[in-house]
A and B are shown apart, each in its own frame.
Chain A
Amino acid sequence: MTTTNTVATKEGFAEVKAAKLSTLGFFMALPPVLVVILFVGLPIFVAFIFSIGYTGGPNRVISIIGQDIYKKDSWWGTADAYLAVVKDPRFLPDFALTMVVTFVSTLVVLTMAMGMGLYQRIKGGKVASVLSMLSLVPLFVPVVIAAYAIAQFYNGVGFMRTFMAQFGIEFPVITATRNAIIIGTIWTSLPFAILMITSGLQSVPNALIETAQDAGASFMRIVRTILIPLAFVPIVIAGTFTAIGIMGSFTVPLFLGPNQPTMLGVEISNFFTAYNRPQQSIVMAFIIFAAASGIAVLYIWANIRSAKQSGRI
């Protein structure tokens, strides 16, 4: 099923790219582009010039409301807001925490997703489908509930401590630590990664695996030389989406993390509303964006690589 689907889709798209340019197609594609330009592109652009000190025009209102606004002092603007953020004693620990959480959680999520995807691909059967159902549950649970439920589960009077207390074991309070954020982000990121990787592995035809087996390859070798290369693009997509999502996460660190240091997502909100320093809040957003863009490049590279491989470029 999945296999034929993939093939059909690829052929469908390949055909389209060879077709001549269509005006109708252009106008049909326009509305979402306009929405994105108007409500994502434009705000980000306006926010960017705000971050380098342009305080007039659309930024006039916010400049009046906010505190510690740096105005441009040269022809291109000013980097003072960026310097102020970097020099802020809260920033470096926040940044480090954000990176550590992103790295660890992404790694764990990918490992778990690979394990479950492989199990499902190789073995199939009841256990595998129970596992996949389980792992999809977080997809349908709002982040707010998830974060709150996890907080309740691992806090001082939570299940883990209650359960362990039955055996006389003192289980640590995890809530309000870095580890709690990691648990929470893994919980919320798992389904997407599993969906992507499982479907990537499923679309590798049986015959390609069996030939390798026939040639004498061991299980691990088949995984390394056949399955991972052939499911490379979905794996990279899973990785980039997971990492980007975690890097900008807000609710999970808000409910589960320590007050100080906290992840940059929470700090953006703090600076915007609680400290009323909108400019510095925006600056942090751009710092995360820069890091996320680095990861996004990986994603685009993976897509191009796959196109080259199948001879489409």
Chain B
Amino acid sequence: MAKRENNLNLQTGSLVTRFFIGVFVAFMAVFILGPLIWLALQAFSTTWTFPNLKPDGWTLVWWKRVFETPSMVEAIRNSFITAPIVVLVSAVICLPAAYAAARYNYLGRRVFLIGMFAANSFPKLGLFASIATLFYTLNLMGTMVGVIIIQLLGTIIYMTWIPAAAFAAVPKNLEEAARDAGASKFRVFRGITLRLAAPGILVAMVMSFISAFDEAQGTYLVGSPEIFTMPTEMYSLVLTYPVQIAAVFSILLAVPSVILIGLARKHIIGGQLAEGFQIK
């Protein structure tokens, strides 16, 4: 009954308000999408003379060039190796902790949750510089392991907090009902808890993948000049190649994220992400 009467009857529907809302939507569309579309168009243009609204001609030659440049292919390959590994490692390390945070009380629980946050408030670049200092000593500079560790750090906050909130949201009596019906502890976890928390875990994995895939600053500091991923390759592309090449590369770099939006959009907007960021 309440569902159907969701809209509040606040008087905001005057013509002036509507006009301003229309202008605002248009502004947001240009502000958010404008740069992306403008850049995407470059990927298919021969040259572009100012101040024409259209490029001088259309071409696919830049795409060919990207796939013929070994360093770029290498970067694409590296990105698709590291990001999935990072998500997997992160899930193995963090999901039990997330479950524990939701279901158990343990020594230092609150410190743990706040500590995760504190780690996030140290400036990223300062942290990477600090880590680099340590990695020199540990001989991890310029190695795959070093890159994976760097990317892993950015995913931990997503992989613990979002699933923790999701696990906590599973009503205990659902688990108890299943236990009562004779299911084993593990079976209850697999069949009930995990199933119900799955949207939260999915969002966490998507966010982790995007975070790892897009991580540029730390990967650059630790990985270069031996290991380049797609984002770090962008740093050098921007300086040394024509804008069209960078545009092609940007589109390629955005593809996985765009695919993942489709997968998890409903849950992200549904509040799984936001729910995870409140210390309880």
Q: Which residues of A contact B (CB under 8 A)?
A: 1-2, 5-6, 8-10, 12-26, 28-33, 35-36, 39-44, 46-47, 50, 58-62, 65, 115, 119, 122-125, 127, 130-132, 134-146, 148-150, 152-153, 156-159, 161-163, 165-166, 187, 190, 195-196, 198-200, 202-203, 206, 209-210, 213, 219, 222, 233-234, 237, 240-241, 244, 247-251, 255, 264-265, 268-269, 272-273, 278, 281-282, 284-286, 288-289, 292-293, 295-296, 299-300, 303
- The SS class assigned to the B binding surface is helix
With beta carbons under 8 angstroms apart, the residue of B122, B274, B278, B279 that contacts A292 is: B122
A interface footprint on B160-182 (CB within 8 Å = 1, 0 otherwise): 10000101111110000000000
Q: Do residues A21 and B106 form an inter-chain contact, with CB atoms below 8 A?
A: yes
- B77 at the A interface (CB under 8 A): no
With beta carbons under 8 angstroms apart, the residue of A24, A47, A268, A269 that contacts B104 is: A24
Q: Do residues A35 and B93 form an inter-chain contact, with CB atoms below 8 A?
A: yes
With beta carbons under 8 angstroms apart, the residue of A58, A148, A203 that contacts B39 is: A148
Known A33-B112, A140-B260, A161-B50: A152·B243 in contact at CB below 8 Å: yes
Q: How many residues of B contact A (CB 8 A)?
A: 111
- B253 at the A interface (CB under 8 A): yes
Q: Do residues A135 and B32 form an inter-chain contact, with CB atoms below 8 A?
A: yes
In the assembled complex, the Cα of A52 lies from the Cα of B99 at a distance in Å of 40
* Residue numbers in A under 8 Å from B106 (CB-CB): 21-23, 25-26, 29
Q: Do residues A40 and B153 form an inter-chain contact, with CB atoms below 8 A?
A: yes
Q: Do residues A158 and B38 form an inter-chain contact, with CB atoms below 8 A?
A: yes
* Residue numbers in B under 8 Å from A123 (CB-CB): 7, 12
- B235 at the A interface (CB under 8 A): yes
* Residue numbers in B under 8 Å from A233 (CB-CB): 278
Q: Which residues of B contact A (CB under 8 A)?
A: 2, 5-12, 21, 24-25, 28-29, 31-36, 38-39, 42, 48, 50-53, 92-94, 96-97, 99-109, 112, 114-127, 129-134, 136-137, 149, 152-153, 156, 159-160, 165, 167-172, 210, 213-214, 216-217, 221, 231, 234-235, 238, 243, 246, 250, 253-254, 257-258, 260-261, 265, 268-271, 273-275, 277-280
In the assembled complex, the Cα of A9 lies from the Cα of B170 at a distance in Å of 8
Q: Do residues B273 and A195 form an inter-chain contact, with CB atoms below 8 A?
A: yes
Q: Do residues A219 and B10 form an inter-chain contact, with CB atoms below 8 A?
A: yes
In the assembled complex, the Cα of A57 lies from the Cα of B127 at a distance in Å of 19
* Residue numbers in A under 8 Å from B216 (CB-CB): 142-144, 251
Given contacts A134-B33, A153-B35, 10 further A-B contacts (CB under 8 A): A1-B270, A1-B271, A26-B106, A35-B93, A130-B25, A148-B238, A272-B132, A282-B126, A285-B127, A289-B126
* Residue numbers in B under 8 Å from A41 (CB-CB): 119
Q: Do residues A36 and B119 form an inter-chain contact, with CB atoms below 8 A?
A: yes
With beta carbons under 8 angstroms apart, the residue of B29, B35, B105, B257 that contacts A19 is: B105
7 contacts between A and B (CB under 8 A): A12-B167, A28-B104, A31-B92, A31-B93, A46-B133, A158-B38, A199-B275
With beta carbons under 8 angstroms apart, the residue of A50, A124, A196, A248 that contacts B125 is: A248
B63 to chain A, nearest CB (A): 16
Question: Which 4 pairs show the lowest CB-CB distances between chains A and B?
Answer: A285-B126, A25-B104, A248-B123, A13-B280
In the assembled complex, the Cα of A10 lies from the Cα of B9 at a distance in Å of 29
Known A12-B102, A149-B35, A149-B36: A296·B48 in contact at CB below 8 Å: no
* Residue numbers in A under 8 Å from B165 (CB-CB): 9
In the assembled complex, the Cα of A36 lies from the Cα of B244 at a distance in Å of 40
In the assembled complex, the Cα of A198 lies from the Cα of B199 at a distance in Å of 19
B180 to chain A, nearest CB (A): 19
* Residue numbers in B under 8 Å from A206 (CB-CB): 2, 5-6, 8
Q: Do residues A292 and B123 form an inter-chain contact, with CB atoms below 8 A?
A: yes
Q: Closest chain A residue to B152 by CB distance?
A: A35
Q: Do residues B130 and A140 form an inter-chain contact, with CB atoms below 8 A?
A: no
Q: Do residues B123 and A32 form an inter-chain contact, with CB atoms below 8 A?
A: no
Known A199-B271, A282-B130: A25·B105 in contact at CB below 8 Å: yes
B199 to chain A, nearest CB (A): 10
In the assembled complex, the Cα of A9 lies from the Cα of B98 at a distance in Å of 13
With beta carbons under 8 angstroms apart, the residue of A10, A127, A144, A219 that contacts B253 is: A144
* Residue numbers in A under 8 Å from B275 (CB-CB): 5-6, 9, 199
Q: Do residues A32 and B97 form an inter-chain contact, with CB atoms below 8 A?
A: yes
Q: Do residues B94 and A44 form an inter-chain contact, with CB atoms below 8 A?
A: no
* Residue numbers in B under 8 Å from A244 (CB-CB): 120-121
Q: Do residues B277 and A196 form an inter-chain contact, with CB atoms below 8 A?
A: yes
Q: Closest chain A residue to B18 by CB distance?
A: A127
* Residue numbers in B under 8 Å from A240 (CB-CB): 121
* Residue numbers in A under 8 Å from B254 (CB-CB): 140-142, 145
